[in-house]
Structure 1
Amino acid sequence: MEHFKAEYLPAELSDYEGHPLINALPPINSPEQTAKLIRRKPEVRAEEIALPAHIRRHAMLRIMDGFLYPTKAHLQLEQSISSMIRQGYLSRNIANKSYQETLNKTRNMPLQSTIRNAGNEALVSSVIGCSGAGKTTAVEAILAGYPQTIIHTEYQHVQLVWLKVESPHDASVKSLCINFFRALDVALDNDGEYEKQYVRSRSNVDMLLGDFARVAALHSIGLLVIDEIQHLDRSKSGVSEKILRFFVQLTNTIKLPILFVGTPKAYDLFSPSMRSARRASQFGSINWSRFNTASRAGKNSEWDRFFDQLWSLQWFKSPQPMTENIRSLFWDYSQGIAHVAVTLFYLCQTRAVTIGREIIDKKLVDIVFNEELHMIRPMIRALQSGREEEIQKYADLEIPRSNLIQSSIVQSSSVEVFESQPTVIREDSKFYQLVNMLEQMGVGSDIAPTVAEQAIEELPNGTLFDLVAHIRNLEEKEPLKREENKPKVVKLTPKYVENDLRLMVNSKGASYKTMKQEGVIVNLLDYL
């Protein structure tokens, strides 16, 4: 890994003056700079178009790895990461005694304490979205704009601006710590020294987490990214809750910002153990959704621009013009999931040059989707249906609508490229405050959101106390007896046929002996 020597820039804000860890960072990006920073578009070289099909296929692989179109979701994420890193460093200044105080706090960090009071400075955020929507790619593209390791020779300090760690598949604390120390060794070019030093057979859980916290403070990690957080859901013995509690303690004790990245399956992990931290979050939680249905309507929408850029990457001898039918066809088969659209386009193009017919039409797209993407076909069909009960059969597709009752919209930007905005969940809304009050009153967490939503709909301008009083009045009222118009029962006279069993039952009873005498029960011995 390349290590950068600290070069201190003038502080953009007075709050950041005299903070070497902040002043060594790149300047704060404008929206235009963010778009240029993360935009990636591979080159289609003229000489490659004349190559044989089996060689051209290799050039086309650049579509899969080298294409990234920036959206407003990327802008929001970059702003959140930029703010989290700088805010986390405010109380960790290596130029004064606050840095040593932070190190001292980790020595007696209470790993078993609760997180009931997370504090207003909890720097916890999350990016939750369906698989293939580009969450991890976006985070990595934004982090690439920061040097990972900065050496402060004047202070004899090695700063880690960010560290990305993947959640272990077995959801164990030891595996998490191993992943952390390995990522740390790679970032510092440390030849595995931290893993050798701390991960030992006799190390227990508390020892590993304590070492985790101390090393994180020692190297002034600016942002800890925990990817694939949904893996923690596989733990059924309370390990997941312990890990999440530990992360919140990191933010409270050493002011280490943490960004969780995961699929909708991870949404329930943040409640109840993470509820306090999420309420205290200054940066909200980003719902990193696929291109929404509305993006298909109108011209020059976010989906239009995304697919136009993708469609221009043709290694055909005669590039095929864009049509609205093609755009709609790819939307239907990708359902707005960026990775699926990119993969389908790449596979269609390689199939076209292989068969010697360099045209992408409906017949070719149908064949490629059904033959080469058949494993994801049930998921796409579920999204096409629009029925939530079908979508929720697949945990990685979308966050349930019930979890997205209250949302707010990100302010629009002056950058034209960012037209469609992500949904940002604000934890300080009236809805969440009301849900919190209801749960404290003893209302179950499973029904409190529904009760709160109904109350706000019926009393939209009421204060929190008005809403609580309204809910209590509803509880105290006796349910009204509804006079239902009962339908008249019309008696129908049955029509009987010859030897009707119903006549026999009504007149002679339904005993086995009677039915045998009437000859309606077959004697199997006669046929043996």
Structure 2
Amino acid sequence: MIHQAIYTESKINIYRNNPLIECLPVIENEADFNEAIYTKTEFPSDFWSYDSFLAMDFFSELEVAYLPHPSAWTLYRHFIQQIKSGYRSKSPTHKSGQKFINTYITHGDSVLEYAIPKRNKALAGKAKCSFAMGISGVGKSEVINTVLNCIPQVIRHREYKSVPLIMDQLVWISIDVSASNSLKGLALNFFYALDEKLGTSYASEHRSLRSPVDFYIGTIRELCAKHMIGFVHIDECQHLLKSIKSGESATLEHLESLFNRIGIPMLMTSTPEGAKLFFSDNGAASPKVQNVRRLMSERVYGFKPIQVDSQFYSAFFELFLPAELFNGSEVLTQEFKNYVHYLTFGIHAITARLLRLFFEAAHKLRLTPDVAKEGEYISLLDKVYSQHFEAISAAINNLRQNEAQEYEYLVQKESRSVSEQGRLSRTMHSSRKAAKMASKQSQIRLNGNTGDVCRDALKLGFKKDHN
């Protein structure tokens, strides 16, 4: 969706008279923000009497039910602030912004003209890179994308203060590191994302080109300047760990060169096991300090399974199994909730899927609270889990034993298996291919819990955000 620019004069002097910032609408309080993203399925009071066909419409709505994550509001405030800071010196109405555009937008057919331009000293060090990590299914990508969608993505400018300003501003963009981990694959993902939002044809123009790495870097940076991209979310960064012998694999250094050096803030997401391996240096025992500094130059966001005794878990449970429909039954007891948490380890996607399928099975059997005998709901929960979560149960068991990497492998194996059967659940992990497993030697060297990553970062002098 393209939004027409509506300008509101900034209250902050450093942002005033900057159309890239004054066109950004901002949600100013947490209550309004949570209301905007909260998605709840409203069940009729006589839902138990609905036939199975009609009931399926409600269960399909449960697939998109969403409870605001406790960190969502904090992420929103951080993203908005970083976008504004990145735009501060890039206003097309100011000399600094015009210099930025002239520096990075090049023309001509010569490959040399697309070589990496010299670093703009005015922008050096201005952009921040944050890092989010969490095991598959805890909702990190969903939370980030939900927050980003609260920020207008494409804003069309035509005139600012009676002066023509013809441009489509791409405020933020979200791309995946390709499973093959090639720089060209990353570039094509970038081009496809631009085409989808702007109606351009960059992907088709560059798909068949056999160009050097510098060409893709130069082209991406050119388009970043042309469309004034303000924030980049890079998902599935664990694929950067794949070792490809050709010299064209994407690296952390490429990402830093593509975006950070031209003043565009980044957020990178990865699994904890992937984050651990960022600390390895081609088999050396010591961390690769330069990579860690770039990776965690701003904030580190840790996403963990839901705690069983948390208020968030109670609200999450209620979202999928409304109290008014299970009033007086064992479903609302703490024992039942604890058992669900044990089966799912509190992983958001798995918990949501289990509760939805359990509710669907209970409705199909007409197992209402007034007819259900003691233990019947527990028995039904076991049957649903056994039928639909056989493969994932092994992964959960490995996770309980702190074998997170094996969990990632099994989760993605389950995802591929279900996909091949044509019934992939939207709650499963988004990776199209399984992550590459580390060698036994690497696993031994990197043995330790996921908290080691943040602790190692702190030892190196970097800050972790706990907000």
Aligned partner of 1:79 in structure 2 is: 77
| CA shift digits 1:145-198 (9 cap, x unpaired) | 1221111102112100111112211111111111111110110123xx212333
Assess, with a 3 A threshold, how the Cα gap between structure 1 residues 197 and 57 changes in structure 2: closer, same or farther. same
Give how far 1:374 is off: 0.8
| 2:114 and 2:219 in contact (8 A); partners too | no
Which residue identity does 1:277 align to in structure 2? Answer: R
Distance 1:119 1:25, change over 3 A: same
The equivalent of 2:461 in structure 1 is: 433
The Cα offsets for residues 358-404 of structure 1, whole Å up to 9 and x where unpaired, read as 457211111111111111101212234xx33x34433479x975552
Aligned counterparts of 1:56 and 1:323: Cα–Cα separation in 2: 25
TM-score (norm. length: structure 1): 0.68
- CA 393–78 in structure 1, closer or farther in 2 if over 3 Å, else same: same
> In percent, how many aligned pairs have the same letter?
24
Q: Give the whole-Å Cα distance in 2 for the aligned partners of 1:367 and 1:252.
A: 50
Q: 8 Å contact 2:114–2:215 — kept in the other structure?
A: no
| Equivalent position of 1:208 in the other structure | 216
How far apart, CA to CA, are the structure 1 residues paired with 2:28 and 2:248? Answer: 36
Secondary structure at the residue paired with 1:61?
Answer: helix
Give the match for residue 169 of structure 1: 179
Q: Structure 2: 5+ residue runs without aligned partners?
A: 107-112, 160-164, 280-287, 412-445, 463-467
Instruction: Classify 1:220/1:368 alpha carbon distance in 2 versus 1 (closer, same or farther; 3 Å).
Output: same
**Pairing partner for 2:392 from 376, 380, 383:** 376
Q: Distance in 2 between matches of 1:256 and 1:337?
A: 32
For 1:338 and 1:134, how far apart are their aligned partners in 2? 6
User: In structure 2, how many angstroms separate the alpha carbons of the residues matched to 1:393 and 1:370?
Assistant: 20
Distance 1:13 1:88, change over 3 A: same
Q: Which runs of 5+ in 1 are unaligned?
A: 408-424, 435-528
Q: 1:240 to 1:402 in 2, by over 3 A?
A: farther
1:217 and 2:225 aligned: yes
Contact 2:153 2:172 in 1 (8 A): yes
**Counterpart residue number, 1:30:** 29
Q: Which residue of 1 aligns with 2:406?
A: 393
Matches within 5 A, 1:458-477: none
Q: Work out whether residues 199 and 208 of structure 1, in 8 Å CA contact, stay in contact via their aligned partners in 2.
A: no
Q: Which residue of 2 aligns with 1:330?
A: 340
The match for 1:250 is 258
Aligned to 1:453: none
Could you say what secondary structure the match of 1:131 adopts?
Answer: coil
**CA-CA distance at 1:111 after TM superposition:** 4.2
- Once residues 35 and 392 of structure 2 are traced to their aligned partners in structure 1, the CA distance between those partners, rounded to angstroms, is 33
Amino acid corresponding to residue 80 of structure 1 in structure 2: H
CA distance in 2, matches of 1:248, 1:382: 35
Q: Which of 303, 324, 333 is equivalent to 1:288?
A: 303
The structural deviation recorded for 1:346 is 0.8
Match of 2:196 in 1: 186
Aligned length: 398
Residue aligning to 1:138: 143
Contact 1:22-1:86 at 8 Å conserved across structures: yes
For the 8 Å contact 1:123–1:258, the answer to whether it is kept is: yes
The secondary structure found in structure 1 opposite 2:338 is helix
Alignment match of 1:121 (pick from 120, 126, 132) = 126
- Which position in structure 2 is the counterpart of 1:404? 451
- Please state if 1:99 is matched with 2:97: yes
CA offsets per residue over residues 467-512 of structure 1, 9 Å max, x none? xxxxxxxxxxxxxxxxxxxxxxxxxxxxxxxxxxxxxxxxxxxxxx
1:352 partnered with 2:359: no
> 1: distance between equivalents of 2:209 and 2:249?
23
Greater Rg by CA: 1
Deviations 1:407-431 (Å, cap 9, x if unpaired)?
A: 6xxxxxxxxxxxxxxxxx795x4x2
Q: In terms of mean alpha carbon deviation, does 156-165 or 30-39 score higher? A: 30-39
Contact 2:37–2:68 (8 Å) recurs in 1: yes
Structure 2 CA distance for aligned equivalents of residues 40 and 393 of structure 1: 33
Query: How far apart are residue 33 of structure 1 and its match?
Result: 2.8
AA in 1 matched with 2:58: A
d(CA) in 1 for partners of 2:42 and 2:331? 18
Tell me whether 1:310 sits opposite 2:320 in the alignment: yes
Deviation at 1:14, TM superposition (A): 2.4
Q: Cα RMSD between the aligned structures?
A: 3.2
Structure 1 position 58, deviation (Å)? 3.3
User: Aligned AA for 2:461?
Assistant: Q
Aligned twin of 2:292: 275
**Does structure 1 conserve the Cα–Cα contact (< 8 Å) formed by 2:59 and 2:356?**
yes
Alpha-carbon contact 2:192-2:203 (below 8 Å) kept: yes
Q: Which amino acid aligns with 2:258?
A: L
| Distance in 2, Cα, partners of 1:189 & 1:318 | 54
TM, length-normalised to structure 2: 0.76
What CA deviation, in whole Å up to 9, does each residue of 1:322-357 have, x standing for no partner?
Answer: 111111111111111111111001111111222332
Change (3 A) 1:102 1:238: farther
Letter in 1 for 2:407: Y
Q: Deviations over 1:288-314 (max 9, x none)?
A: 1112xxx334xx633223223332188
Distance 1:325 1:252, change over 3 A: closer
